[in-house]
């Protein structure tokens, strides 16, 4: 009970920090890439959403609990960001985020990525290490066998009718265009069908301090994230009593009245503030 009270008090204090300062579009590698900037601070925290999501879908509930300067982005074909005549890839997403940071004149940053956004976060740390201070990789895989059984086998059969209704609603709220929703779904699907393992040598090249988070009832297996924590030198690991994203209040899995997002925000903030 006392712990819950402390979490609540700290979260209320952090809540006052996350105020929208600006939003806009950046010309990035053939995209108009949407971003929002909250708060102030010398070391920003970049938020990278999950597949099929908007920044609000993934981070809408936890963002107000984060302190300091926060930059939330939307990736190719997602939310308000435009598309390009090319497939999605985690490598390209990483390059797009890096280009956005350079556009915003951000020299170094922390990055918090969820699900597919976590895989993109690892690719940023691999491909653009000079931009990265620390990373938080939440519910993300780097190999196909990191997903629960049946995930990849069922992917070729998926249609937009299988997409979470809440994610459709979230997308159409910011971009009311059914055709663009379909394009995003199709590109996300193809990316996952064609997903290839990231070599261990690439993961080993990550030098940024890392916090890895997974739920005990996640779509990423706990064993996979434990394995990942052994490959990224010095990585910290948190296994939470949670499904896929309920620990951050993700819009499809948020639990009404849960204090888990507050606890996660405190844990992430303390990790980022460690010297």
What pLDDT shows up at residue 20? 76
Say if 173 falls within a structural domain: yes
Pairing of strands 210-215, 236-240: parallel
Residue position matching structure tokens 């209704």 = 165
Report if residue 7 sits inside a domain: no
Query: pTM for the complete prediction?
Result: 0.93
Identify whether 83 is part of a domain.
Answer: yes
pLDDT at 12: 42
Q: 76 with 92: CB under 8 angstroms?
A: yes
pLDDT at 164: 97
Tens of pLDDT along 239-260? 999 999 999 999 999 999 999 9
The verdict on residue 3 lying in a domain is no
The CATH number assigned to the domain holding 156 equals 3.40.50.1820
The model's pLDDT over 73-86, given as tens digits with 9 standing for 90+, comes to 999 999 999 999 99
Q: Which residues of the chain fall below pLDDT 70?
A: 1-19
Indicate the number of domains in the chain: 1
Looking at residue 21, its pLDDT comes to: 83
258-269 residue pLDDT tens = 999 999 999 999
Arithmetic mean of pLDDT over the chain: 93
pLDDT at residue 25 in the model? 98
- Neighbouring-strand partners of residue 238: 213
What was the pLDDT predicted at 18?
56
pLDDT of residue 11: 40
- Residue 1: per-residue pLDDT: 34
* Residue 11 covered by a domain: no
Q: Is residue 1 part of a domain?
A: no
Domain-embedded: residue 228:
yes
Q: b or e along 163-190 (b: 16 or more beta carbons within 10 Å of the residue's beta carbon)?
A: beeebbebbeeebeeeebbeebbbbbbe
Q: Which domain holds residue 144?
A: 27-273
Strand 109-114, strand 70-73: pairing: unpaired
φ/ψ (deg, to 5) at 15? -55, -35
């Amino acid at each position: 009970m006392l712990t819950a009270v402390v979490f609540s008090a700290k979260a209320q204090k952090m809540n006052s920090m996350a105020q929208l300062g600006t939003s806009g579009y950046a010309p990035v590698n053939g995209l108009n890439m949407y971003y929002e900037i909250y708060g102030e601070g010398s070391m920003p925290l970049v938020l990278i959403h999950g597949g099929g999501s908007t920044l609000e879908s993934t981070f809408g509930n936890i963002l107000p609990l984060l302190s300091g300067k926060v930059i939330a982005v939307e990736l190719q074909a997602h939310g308000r960001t435009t598309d390009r005549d090319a497939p999605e890839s985690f490598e390209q997403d990483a390059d797009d985020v890096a280009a956005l940071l350079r556009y915003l004149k951000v020299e170094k940053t922390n990055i918090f990525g969820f699900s597919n956004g976590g895989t993109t976060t690892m690719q940023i740390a691999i491909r653009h290490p000079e931009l990265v201070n620390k990373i938080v990789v939440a519910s993300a895989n780097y190999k196909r066998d990191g997903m629960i059984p049946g995930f990849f086998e069922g992917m070729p059969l998926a249609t937009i009718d299988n997409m979470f209704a809440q994610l459709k609603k979230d997308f159409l709220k910011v971009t009311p265009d059914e055709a663009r929703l379909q394009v995003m779904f199709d590109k996300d699907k193809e990316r996952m069908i064609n997903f290839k393992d990231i070599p261990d040598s690439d993961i080993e090249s990550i030098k940024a301090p890392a916090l890895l988070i997974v739920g005990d009832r996640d779509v990423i297996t706990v064993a996979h994230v434990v394995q990942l924590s052994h490959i990224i030198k010095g990585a910290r690991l948190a296994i939470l009593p949670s499904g896929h994203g309920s620990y951050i209040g993700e819009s499809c899995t948020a639990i009404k009245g849960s204090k888990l997002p507050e606890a996660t925000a405190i844990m992430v903030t303390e990790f980022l503030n460690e010297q």
